[in-house]
A and B are shown apart, each in its own frame.
Chain A
Amino acid sequence: MVTDLVIYKEEYDRLEDVLRRLRADSNARAIFLIDKNGQQIAASGELDQFDTTSLASLTAGNVAATDGLAKLIGEREFSVLFHEGKQDHIHISIVGKRAILLVIFDDRSSLGLVRLRVKRASGDMESIFDRMTSKASEALEDVSASRSSPFSEITDEDIDALFSE
């Protein structure tokens, strides 16, 4: 079974820092870090300009379809995708095998600059992911030892309340 993705505040803050820096360095409009299954992990920039949930889901679908294409022709993956528009462009890259970095930029930046800055930021993010993974497995061991997961106490009533309307 695939393990859940768990993120704690410390790593979340560090990821947001990296995104903020990347956004400033690359002159981008907005940057999103997205789980390969389509969940947004963190973001930075002009977020109110975009439907962020839809962006995350469609980006993951796009990457999944492109991954499928890569395998069909015998490639492991296409690690970078670029969509060029009239004013705005999208640069998509895979980070640490399980996340997708989406950079939206316009003519205040350039593809070359984005690529360069993304490369550096990706390294920083990968080390944060490694830390997340080891922390999650430590937490899993703690939970099985002490049963202290906040979700272990979810009751039927809690769940019914979600659908009460």
Chain B
Amino acid sequence: MTFINYASKEINCKIVYYGPGLGGKTSNLQYIYEKTSADSKGKMISLATEADRTLFFDFLPLDLGTVRGFTTRFHLYTVPGQVFYDASRKLILKGVDGVVFVADSQVERMDANIESIRNLQENLEEHGFDLKQIPYALQFNKRDLANIVPSDQMYRTLNFKREPTFEAVATQGLGVFDTLRAVAKLILKDLSRG
């Protein structure tokens, strides 16, 4: 749900990074945080466990500049990927404008990817959203590891509406901004269609 403030000329959009546990959602946000200039970003908040696993969400506000005279702000959130945090995941999807699905490329995580996309679909439906309609980008993360599924095979398994798809190594920043740019583009295009 985009928030348009005509008084202060601002557009605020919410992007949620979704995906299985330990897939690299937080790493995506951390990289964006590190590489964004200080005046374009707010504080990054991580509500994590002592073992650094996301407990509730990570949050990063980004100020990207102006479009048609409106300051464009993106609020980036991650969800906790672990299966038993489903109630928290549902809450974070509230009012979402676009979703990035961060898939783990490792062979042994393919089932978790599939399960997580199914879970995303169900949780979106509870908020009245349709994954087929909502701005959505797919990321194959951890391409630097040895035991990974070939990209084309992942595409066939996980891509379902020709959504923009990127290979990534989030810890090194590879593919991180491409993914963000793609989903932001889809959100603003949605907005321009009214």
Residues of A within 8 A of B (CB): 1-9, 12-13, 35-39, 41, 51, 53-54, 57-58, 61, 64-65, 67-68, 140, 143-144, 147, 149-154, 156, 158-159, 161-163, 165
Contact = CB atoms under 8 A, between A and B. Distances in A.
24 contacts: A1-B128, A2-B129, A4-B2, A7-B4, A12-B7, A37-B1, A37-B3, A38-B14, A41-B5, A54-B45, A54-B59, A57-B75, A64-B91, A149-B192, A150-B69, A151-B67, A151-B70, A151-B188, A154-B67, A154-B68, A158-B188, A159-B188, A162-B64, A163-B181
Interface of B: 1-8, 11-12, 14, 37, 42-43, 45, 47, 56-57, 59, 61, 64-65, 67-70, 72, 75, 87-88, 90-92, 94-95, 127-129, 133, 177, 181, 184-185, 188-189, 191-194
Contact of A37 (B6, B61, B70, B94): B94
A3 B97 CA distance: 11
A115 B163 CA distance: 49
A24 B91 CA distance: 34
A154 B43 CA distance: 29
A61 B91 contact: yes
Nearest to A62: B56
A137 B25 CA distance: 36
A152 B191 CA distance: 7
Given A4-B2, A150-B70, A152-B192, A39 B12 contact: yes
Nearest to A69: B87
A158 B67 contact: yes
Given A4-B1, A39-B75, 10 more contacts: A4-B4, A151-B70, A152-B192, A152-B193, A154-B67, A154-B192, A156-B185, A159-B184, A162-B64, A162-B72
B5 A7 contact: yes
Contact of A68 (B43, B57, B65, B87): B87
A123 B182 CA distance: 42
Contact of A61 (B56, B69, B188): B56
Nearest to B134: A1
A2 B4 CA distance: 14
Contacts of B192: 149, 151-154
Nearest to B6: A8
A54 B193 CA distance: 30
B75 to A, nearest CB: 6
B8 A159 contact: no
Given A154-B189, A159-B184, A57 B61 contact: yes
Contact of B56 (A7, A9, A65): A65
Contacts of A37: 1, 3, 14, 94-95
Given A5-B4, A6-B4, A68 B67 contact: no
B144 to A, nearest CB: 24
Contact of A149 (B1, B181, B194): B194
B3 A153 contact: no
